[in-house]
A and B are shown apart, each in its own frame.
Chain A
């Protein structure tokens, strides 16, 4: 555990203790979290925790029903997420489940949550089939069906590009995104000149970039996460490719600047979360996050934060039972959200629409609004 994280845990404990003292009449409500604390995705579980603690420190003290989360480490492994699911559905205290991180781990557990009528809120599960698992599967993860046309618009209308070379992660998320992007690009009159899928963990993109180069694009589109994107952009620079680079919102992270260094200057990216956005929810979140953790939040933090605020809203507005949470998700309106501004669900898709996209460009080692 880093000093940082130890401090955050301590802060959480102190805040929690204080909260209990203040509102003696308050009731504690449990939500289960299934996510990675160890294994290859452990960093995301750690980010969730930070955001959850921040959200709870904000909402719990004033709330009648105070949320406490039970975090079970699944390593984002389906074998463990199904066991955790049984644990949660049979723990009558738990009224809602958050996670898992990866779609395979979430979707393996879905039948269990669906059967037990416990909401599984997969807030990072963008897999198009996740919410099709049943009417207890909900998500506020950004829908790629919404995001990809935005990205295509940035590249085509915004930057005036016509031949696009796409490099995408070869996972369910990456392939779905790529297909949606290609469709949107075609509709807007541009052409996908090449689409190259890479495996998670790959580091060497030189030959991939030669393929991209030889397809003669006027713009390179990255559908990846920030760590891979940093590597790819650095190699684009060492190969000396002159094309503009446009990237999807998962590339937006302070870490991109750290890992990419000077190379990422000039990279265009869309994002739903941007700390410099003047909107009140954003500013409050960013200030609180910086104060508590002494670093910049990213989209994962923002989504996890939104999710915990939502959970608190649900149990306080609609009641602290599983059925009430399920009902509440369909009815709730205007939940304040860093990512969406305000959140409501489409009861048919069980997803949120209307994320607010910002267009950014990296300038002098900083993300700035593009104009």
Chain B
């Protein structure tokens, strides 16, 4: 077995080596722009396809291929900076992060439209010699990737230390306002950094494509995710740390497989992420220091005065919504029911992300917990659906709060990354806990909606039930927001330090928010499970978390009416764009970007 451990170690380094190219770019961008670039994996895909096209159509040799990739990817990077960062200076801190998510959506779609989603083989342009190491082999490409990773780290280090632009980059990273006052052209610096980082990402895309002889448009999210995990391990913004973090991530995955099997690989990666965030939020290599200071008051969310909707108008809308089934349009009604289920999720997230300022990127996990809880209670324990749904709400409230508890002491982007990781962990636990959840087979035959003998499985029944539940939850949430809890939650968001000094325990009130929010999301997941009759670990995936966050931003952070509006629009719009066929997700991404750019406080205003 000793030989096997040596092989696992080598394999860990080999895969970590590949993550490193991604993580270095992410680290650079974070270091300078204070931004976790969620479009990074998309640039990687762009690079891979540009390289493929160059080789396939122009028959380019390796250096020329790489040159093409560098040029195009750098250009894309400059574009990201121009769209996703520069115009958003001074708006809420979360806006650039969301903009990168929107850009990722657009880039992925464009690549898919141009190249089709069919996987492609990338011709190998690196000599195929291999040397035996332990029980396996290492090839020229492994060394090339390691070489590029190390060289770029060294070159970057030199650039940052010894050049004027590098000095400007470091100054900007320290304090962009001060750097600006000292005459640094911060925009130019940011642009340079995005270009460099994106070029690296593109190169890694094409090299990894050669490595596996395969590229596909679907590989961007996974790439972003792994890059971010490696980044956190190494310490946000720390370039050499990013390389070390990548290797550690690779080793962790490899040992995870060795100890428990292949299906535990990502579980290990994400548990490592959470452990790092909790115990060493600045990465393994940072000196023990507190979290970097958060900006002063009021910069977390866009300052705005929310739109006030008169009570009679709200009442009229609710009545109109209740009468909708009378139109006899089941398709419309199904979209309505979907919107309402998502509105419950958005209510939950607008409370957590908007009112309390904990921007969760893993909120869909709460749906999964709710769905599984209600499904299992109804199927295995024989509970009536009318009981299993509220019970699922309570289970989700408790379990959800418990799971994010370790993330309570984090702030800002760290919370987002931690919740993203927790969301993945929930999904992976569902996948691997076969005894309880039936693993990959999923839960089938979940009984339809039914309350005290009334069959609500029809689309009208589902719609009315969802409407009633949503109205109740929204009223309850509004009532809580008008109590002392509302101001307490918002105080924690605006300035957690000042809030603590006035006796407001962050943990207690975050827990209350996650508890109540978890309840709403759990109910939503439970209803969804009974409507779908079948769910599995992927039904409530990361894309739903991101969708929910978009809804909340669109409506206005913390705004209850806004959450409902945002959910309705974002469920209805893709349906309305149906005639656009392949182009609709692209249009949707563009709409999202425009919104972040021109109305960052959301349609209804932040509260």
Contacts and interface: CB of A to CB of B under 8 A. Distances in A.
Do A and B pair up? The answer is: yes
A172 B442 contact: yes
Given A80-B574, A211-B261, A86 B539 contact: no
Nearest to A88: B331
A240 B214 contact: no
Contacts of B214: 203, 227, 230-231, 259
B197 to A, nearest CB: 22
A87 B116 contact: no
Contacts of B265: 199, 202, 207
A78 B254 contact: no
B331 A87 contact: yes
Contacts of A111: 448, 457, 531-533
B564 to A, nearest CB: 17
A46 B117 CA distance: 9
A5 interface: yes
Interface stretch (B216-224, B283-291, B398-406): B216-224
Contacts of A37: 581-582
Interface in A106-158: 107-108, 110-112, 115, 127, 129, 132-133
Nearest to B208: A203
Main secondary structure of the interface of A (DSSP, over half): helix
B136 A175 contact: no
A196 B216 CA distance: 23
Contact of B581 (A73, A176, A199): A73
Interface string B253-279: 110011001110110000000000000
Given A86-B331, A210-B258, A170 B440 contact: yes
A211 B11 contact: no
Interface in B88-139: 109, 112-113, 116-119, 121, 130, 132, 135-137, 139
A86 B119 contact: no
B213 interface: yes
Interface string B454-473: 00011100000000000000
A197 B581 contact: no
A1 B113 contact: yes
A78 B539 contact: yes
B185 interface: no
B135 A38 contact: no
Nearest to A71: B581
A85 B265 CA distance: 36
B213 A234 contact: yes
Interface string A1-42: 110010000000000000000000000000000000111111
Contacts of B266: 199
Interface in A166-219: 167, 170-172, 174-176, 196-199, 201-208, 210-211, 213-214
A72 B578 contact: yes
A127 B575 CA distance: 27
A13 to B, nearest CB: 15
Contacts of A170: 262-263, 431, 439-440
B532 A82 contact: yes
Contacts of A198: 262-263
A289 to B, nearest CB: 16
A90 interface: yes
A86 B532 contact: no
Most buried by A among B14, B18, B218, B441: B441
Contacts of A87: 331, 334
Interface string B575-599: 1001001101100000000000000
B444 A132 contact: yes
Interface stretch (B1-9, B28-36, B481-489): B1-9
Nearest to B572: A83
B217 to A, nearest CB: 8
Interface size class of B (residues with CB under 8 A): 35 or more
A20 B172 CA distance: 68
A255 B578 contact: no
Contacts, number: 208
Interface string A292-326: 00000000000000000000000000000000000
Interface string B209-252: 00011101111001000000000000000000000000000000
B71 interface: no
A208 to B, nearest CB: 5
A86 B330 contact: yes
Contacts of A38: 109, 112, 582, 584-585
Contacts of A203: 208, 212, 214, 219
Most buried by B among A1, A103, A111, A261: A111
A239 B218 contact: no
Interface in A222-254: 227, 230-231, 234, 238-240
B534 A129 contact: yes
A132 B445 contact: yes
A83 B263 contact: no
Contacts of A329: none
A210 B4 CA distance: 7
A349 interface: no
Contact of A46 (B116, B121, B136): B116
B548 to A, nearest CB: 12
A361 interface: no
A197 B428 CA distance: 12
Interface string A93-105: 0000000000110
A204 B130 CA distance: 17
Contacts of A207: 7-8, 11-12, 253-254, 257-258, 262, 265
Given A83-B575, A86-B333, A214-B4, A43 B116 contact: yes
Contacts of A201: 218-219, 222
A104 B534 contact: yes
Nearest to B575: A83
Contacts of B1: 214
B446 to A, nearest CB: 10
Interface of A: 1-2, 5, 37-43, 46, 72-73, 75, 78-80, 82-83, 85-87, 89-90, 103-104, 107-108, 110-112, 115, 127, 129, 132-133, 167, 170-172, 174-176, 196-199, 201-208, 210-211, 213-214, 227, 230-231, 234, 238-240, 255, 258-261
Given A132-B445, A206-B15, 14 more contacts: A42-B117, A46-B116, A73-B581, A87-B334, A104-B536, A108-B533, A111-B532, A172-B442, A175-B441, A202-B262, A206-B136, A214-B4, A231-B214, A259-B119
Which 4 A-B residue pairings sit nearest by Cβ, starting from the closest? A107-B534, A108-B532, A129-B444, A86-B334
14 contacts: A37-B581, A38-B112, A43-B117, A86-B334, A86-B459, A104-B442, A107-B533, A111-B533, A129-B444, A133-B533, A207-B12, A210-B258, A213-B135, A239-B135
Interface of B: 1, 4, 7-8, 11-12, 14-15, 18, 109, 112-113, 116-119, 121, 130, 132, 135-137, 139, 208, 212-214, 216-219, 222, 253-254, 257-258, 261-263, 265-266, 329-331, 333-335, 338, 431, 439-442, 444-445, 448, 457-459, 531-536, 538-539, 571, 574-575, 578, 581-582, 584-585
